Every structure is written in C-alpha cells, then in structure tokens.
Amino acid sequence: EAGVCYLYAPGEERELQLVAQLGFAAPLTAESELVSSLTSLSGYVARHGQSFVIPELESDARGTIVANSEGLHSAVLVPVAT
C-alpha cells in the first residue's frame, strides 16, 4: 500500500509538487518531488478534474516506472479541489 499527494496550480505551474507520501522508498520519493503536469497521468487528472482507476498497472501503458518499481498492482487517481 502506498499513496502520494501532489499540488497543482492551474496556469502557474507545469509541474505537480509532491507534498505528502506514504509507503514509497526514500530515493524514489526524491525523484518524484516534481512531476510533469503535461505528460503524467497524475497531471492529466489534475488538469481535467477526472478520476482514473487502473486495475492492472502491468498491462496498462499508462502505468509509470515509479509504480512498477515499487511493486504496485493497481492505481486510483482522484483530483481534490477546494
């Protein structure tokens, strides 16, 4: 089990900033502090406000290297807005 929380500022940033995580290895967390909001699935979710469920990351091209290297099998991405 693992989770991350990124902040996204529409119109101001082209990257998502990692603000909290649980369950990921420390070196991996350092590599993931800034994620492109233009090319990543997390960025797509943030920009469009749409949730994504990926039941099997191994068979989905959208699965990230981060998810595969950490042994994650599925993913749920949910935008949270204020």
Question: Looking at the predicted structure, is the pLDDT value of residue 80 above 70?
Answer: yes
Structure confidence by residue, pLDDT tens digits, 49-75 = 899 888 887 776 665 666 666 777 788
Give the E-state strand segments of the chain in sequence order.
3-7, 15-22, 34-36, 52-54, 75-77
In whole angstroms, give the CA distance from residue 55 to residue 62.
11
Q: Which 8-state DSSP code applies to residue 35? A: E
Q: What is the pLDDT of residue 34?
A: 60
Q: What is the mean pLDDT of the chain?
A: 76
